[in-house]
Amino acid sequence: MLSLPLAHCALCISTVESVLAAVPGVQSARVNLTLKRVSVDAMPDVRASDLIAVLKAAGQEAHELDPGLLSTTETDRQSRDLLMRLGVAFFAMMNVMLLSVAVWSGAEAATRDLFHWISAAIALPTVIFAGQPFFRSAWASLRAGRLGMDVPISLALILASSISVYETALSGHHAYFDAAVMLAFFLLLGRYLDHRTRAAARSAAEELAALEVPRAVVLAGGAEEERPISAILPGDVVLVRPGARMPVDGVILTGQSEVDRSLLTGESLPVFAAPGMEVSAGEVNLTGPLTLRVTAAGRGSSLHRMADLVAVAESAKTRYTSLADRAARAYSPLVHLMSFSAFGYWMWATGGDIRQAVNISAAVLIITCPCALGLAVPAVVTAASGRLFRQRLLIKHGTALERLAEVDTVVFDKTGTLTLATPEAAGLDLLPAEAVAVARALAAGSLHPLARALVAAARVDAAEVSDIVEVPGFGVEGRWRGELVRLGRADWCAADAVAGTATYLRIGAGHFAITFTDRLRPGAEAAVGALHRAGKRILLLSGDAEAAVAAIAGRLEIAEWQAGVLPAEKAARVQALTAAGGHVLMVGDGLNDTAALASAHVSISPASALDAARVASDIVLLGQDMAPIADALRISSQAKRRMIENFAISAAYNVVAVPLALIGAARPLAAALAMSLSSITVSLNAMRLR
């Protein structure tokens, strides 16, 4: 299995699948664009590194994933299960309501009893089947010594069904079969809406672990031997070929190259690598072979330490208590107290008529059952999620909207977030056309990011340069009209370095500096401006060089910024802001942002982000435009107001309905209709968000 972080369209799917299918030994290749992965069925002698090289030649970045470390989810199965139970409950509710209306329209004696028994035949299997999610949750709550919202729900379902059977057997006038199935339907609807708003995403820590290179080439006794990472120990010597990711933490023994650290640190440009330099697992070796002395491998590597940071942050985020949970904590004990109080009062008032006391107690429990409360949040989240989805924002977590409404501080990453991580060559029109032609010819012989940007920006044909050779870690050289020409580092080209990001061209004794700028993501200026106007505190934290970060901060008028920030430092800064009372929105896209994304109060990542960053986020930005981020904060505030209004509607319903139930005036059909009316009102209020 390979990760495809840059795959984004149908053309990417066809390119990857056709290129891989042409590789000898590959039997099939299937791309999952949602997960940005390709599953390859191949012969045992086909190596992942060979497939990665083939995809790289086709313009598709790829990384090997260990499928054994990826968690499996049952989201689709659970969704189908809830939908099936919801359909059964709806069918039963319609039929039982028809029978109940017939009874309350005047059916008497044997006819009434027959309708009640038919209702029982429909309702009892339905309650047993459709109520399973609530029964399991209630039992788990009781075993943990808590009274969750599903406890009164389950008790109401059981009591309504039991008392209805008892009344039917005694030819009683009242039965609660209609209330039981209606209660099951509306609460299943709330549960299903809540489930659909959650991504049921895999753990970001597991995604990080799966990004580890599962094998490495060890040099032992003068021979190359491929070993699993678990069999590699500190002190071993490993070979890392050009284009491969570092499988371990280590120190370079031999070789010169350039290392891409963007996934781990956010640095937009590769770093020169030479003997004595330390490298980390997950970095990419670009231009030359390197041998490393292993300092840490497997669970001791920097990549695993980052995964541990993410795991800790994720567990902290799950402790957030939603509005519905907080309401349920107060609501559940109150419901039981009123029901038992009604039972005690009517036992005393009727001189021990247990039948009437139990009926009134059950009526109180049914009419106060949190049907509207159960829909209050899911209905709003579903409406708001649909509105944001139309603006290219995907809500992944059930409480993300509530947390987003509380945000007062926004932290941005730079590379790949505020910028597109693609440098743009600037000022080529100021250089002689011949110099641009030579630079283009040399750049075409390199895969360096600056070289690719130069080729894309040059508007002249490449010069005829011969003997082109890439010198790992320095640049590209060749001969043009008999003269040595070079494109690369300033010292290698004997040129004076300029401020900012640049590469240098040497033609004979002449020198030219070609500068580059970071390309802003569309909507970045609009989003930051809107957040400023909304009074949010904005910070820019990046692992990139100071000059590049300062330039972007200046263009976007971000006063608080910091360059050269390591992943752990970025997460620590977010945690410090939280500890100081802030509610932080983190926006990032790389491995270096994953721990910070998981630590933040709420987080957003672009769809182009690495799998681990996307999984750690609560919201995914589906397009390139960042402007919807500011809209998301405004819509989340509206959504939170709707949630509070829905709780108020639910409370108002209880203020009217509970006294009627307590005095014994709430008939079963009236209780069922009242529950239905309150649930529909809550849903309509939520739909105002659309």
Helix extents (H) in 262-370 = 262-265, 302-317, 323-349, 354-367
* pLDDT band with cut points at 50, 70 and 90 for residue 245: confident
Query: Percent of the chain, pLDDT > 70?
Result: 82
Question: Which of 101-110, 526-535, 642-651 is predicted most confidently?
Answer: 526-535
Is residue 188 within 8 A of residue 127, CB to CB? The reply is no
Count of domains forming the chain: 5
pLDDT of residue 622: 74
**By residue range, what is the domain housing residue 595?**
392-420+521-637
Residue 57 domain flag? no
| CATH code, domain carrying 512 | 3.40.1110.10
Q: What is the mean pLDDT of the chain?
A: 79
Residue 91's nearest CA partner among 168, 154, 195, 184 is 184
CA distance linking residue 621 with residue 196, whole number of Å: 18
Neighbours of 326 (CB within 10 A): 11
DSSP assignment, residue 536? -
CA distance 615 to 393: 14
For residues 684 and 397, the model is more confident at 684
Is 5 within 8 Å of 18 (Cβ atoms)?
no
pLDDT tier at 559, thresholds 50, 70, 90: very high
Give yes or no: residues 443 and 562 share one domain. no
Q: Tell me, what amino acid is at 550?
A: A
Say whether both 174 and 255 belong to one domain.
Answer: no
Tell me which of 383 and 331 has the higher pLDDT. Answer: 383
Q: Are residues 572 and 595 in the same domain?
A: yes
User: What's residue 112's pLDDT?
Assistant: 80
Distance from C-alpha of 224 to C-alpha of 238, rounded to nearest angstrom: 9
Higher-confidence residue of 458 and 108: namely 458
Does the residue 662 lie in any domain?
yes
Residue 60 lies in a domain: no
Q: Does residue 61 fall inside a structural domain?
A: no
Q: How many CB atoms lie within 10 A of CB 190?
A: 25
pLDDT at 68 over 50: no
DSSP single-letter state for residue 377: H
Q: Are residues 479 and 622 in the same domain?
A: no
pLDDT at 666: 67
Residues 160 and 127 in one domain: yes
Domain-embedded: residue 438? yes
Residues 6+ apart with CB under 8 A from 587: 410, 411, 412, 413, 417, 603, 604, 605, 629
Residue 532 has pLDDT above 90, yes or no: yes
Contact predicate 149/373, CB 8 Å: yes
623 and 645 inside one domain: no
Is residue 602 domain-shared with residue 661, that is, in the same domain? no
Query: What's the order of all strands across the beta sheet hosting 510-520?
Result: 419-426, 510-520, 501-507, 483-488, 475-480, 466-471
388 contacts 628 by C-beta, under 8 angstroms: yes
CA dihedral 209, 12, 606, 246 (to 10 degrees): 30
Q: What is the mean pLDDT of residues 364-368?
A: 72
Regarding predicted confidence, which is higher, 580 or 325? 580
- Find where tokens 């039917």 sit: 168
Nearest to 29 by CA among 72, 69, 68, 58: 58
Q: What is the DSSP letter of 463?
A: P
* 114 found inside a domain: yes
Q: How far apart are CA 494 and CA 511, in angstroms?
A: 8
428 in the same domain as 401:
no
Whole-angstrom Cα distance, residue 212 to residue 305? 12
295 plus 349 within the same structural domain: no
Q: What is the pLDDT of residue 252?
A: 93
* Claim to verify: residue 87 and residue 117 sit in the same structural domain: yes
Same domain, 481 and 611: no
Tell me if 187 sits within 8 A of 374, measured CB to CB. yes
Is 275 a member of any domain? yes
Give catalytic residue positions: 413
CB 271 within 8 A of CB 176: no
Q: Which of 475, 496, 520 is the last residue of a domain?
A: 520
The domain that holds 396 is classified in CATH as 3.40.50.1000
pLDDT band at 199 (very low <50, low <70, confident <90, very high): very low
**From CA 97, how far away is CA 443, in angstroms rounded?**
76
Q: What is the CATH number of the domain that holds 218?
A: 2.70.150.10
Last residue of a domain, one of 300, 332, 350: 300
For the residues of 6-61, what is the DSSP string, one character each?
Answer: T--SHHHHHHHHHHHHTSTTEEEEEEETTTTEEEEEE-TT--HHHHHHHHHHTT--
Confidence of residue 72 (pLDDT cuts 50, 70, 90): very low
Nearest one of 352, 342, 339, 355 to 167, comparing CA atoms: 355
- Interatomic CA distance for residues 99 and 115, integer angstroms: 6
> For 129-148, what is each residue's pLDDT tens digit?
998 888 887 887 777 676 66
310 falls within a domain? no
- Same domain for 263 and 184, yes or no, is no
